[in-house]
Amino acid sequence: MPSPHSPTAETTGELVFQKHKLLFAALAAVSWLALALPGAGGARDELVFQKHKVPSAAALLARHAPIVVLHPAERSAPTNVDGFLAGATLAGGRYDVRACSARDGLAALQCYDDADEPAPAVSHGAVFRAKDGRIALQYWLFHAFDIWSPFVPQSPDYWKAHEGDWEAVTVLLDPKARPTEVGASRHCAGARRAWAKVERRGTHPLVYSALGSHALYFGPGRYWQQKSCWPKEALAVFDAYKVAVVDHVGVAEGRAIAPRVVPVTATEPAWMRFAGSFGEAQYLHFPQATFAYGAGPRGPAYHDLWKRPFAEPRAWPRG
């Protein structure tokens, strides 16, 4: 074998270098010719587009569908609206499950259990896209019956109840479809949290559903409800009885469910166009007195969260 410093080695190295030089020149010429041909620029743009292509709406909804942790004592899981409507009558601009009445409070639980046919848990999903490429994923959770009480076990002396209950989880994505924040609705507002700080299972955020009210939180515990969601008169009565207006949120042994996502739009299914209430009037009960308390909830498309899918959750406090 020739020495690395011998003339033969130098000549061989020079030949190899010249060979590689010619190969590089040929490749550069081919690349220039490819880019110069008609449509080559479009092909290059297509490669860039493919690199940053955003998944379909269905794929995004499935990727980030929330996992809901129910309180151990919870009896009402998120359900399909169609089952509720099948047992309801439309009258006076609202759907009403005639066989049951929210006015009966805790005593109505069994009636609503019987009216709500057993079915896998469901969330109703929608996708919103901003002009700058941001994406909002909404998951609407429907419960046939809402029965809140400030105590555990729930008290027959203090409760608020209504048919039909809507809560929602929002996952905000950047223009590259990367999650940035999660919004969780509760009562008349909600809270948000950075994606990096949200408890998750893979790509799915976990939210905790409060007993009876189904208000959504980012962890278990006992939470004061927002006073602005209550009439001053009701708060005064609670104060007089020295009762705290709080939500009780599931602990580690709570039942975790992964609701199946059913896509919805502002017009489909048909019930999304219904502008009335999903259920009869709300009722508020104190010892020896029950009061009618406002109308039942309206459907998703009539909430501020649907109308302002980016601004509304961003306006919620961090929680």
Q: What is the mean pLDDT of residues 76-101?
A: 91
Q: What is the mean pLDDT of residues 14-36?
A: 43
Residue 206 scores a pLDDT above 60 = yes
The confidence score (pLDDT) of residue 158 equals 98
The confidence score (pLDDT) of residue 54 equals 74
- Write down the domain spans for the chain: 7-49, 56-315
- Residues 132-190 have pLDDT tens digits of 999 999 999 999 999 999 999 999 999 999 999 999 999 999 999 999 999 999 999 99
- Residues 219-276 have pLDDT tens digits of 999 999 999 999 999 999 999 999 999 999 987 668 999 999 999 999 999 999 999 9
Q: Note the pTM of the prediction, 2 decimals.
A: 0.83
- For 35, phi and psi rounded to 5 degrees? -75, -25
Mean pLDDT of the chain: 86
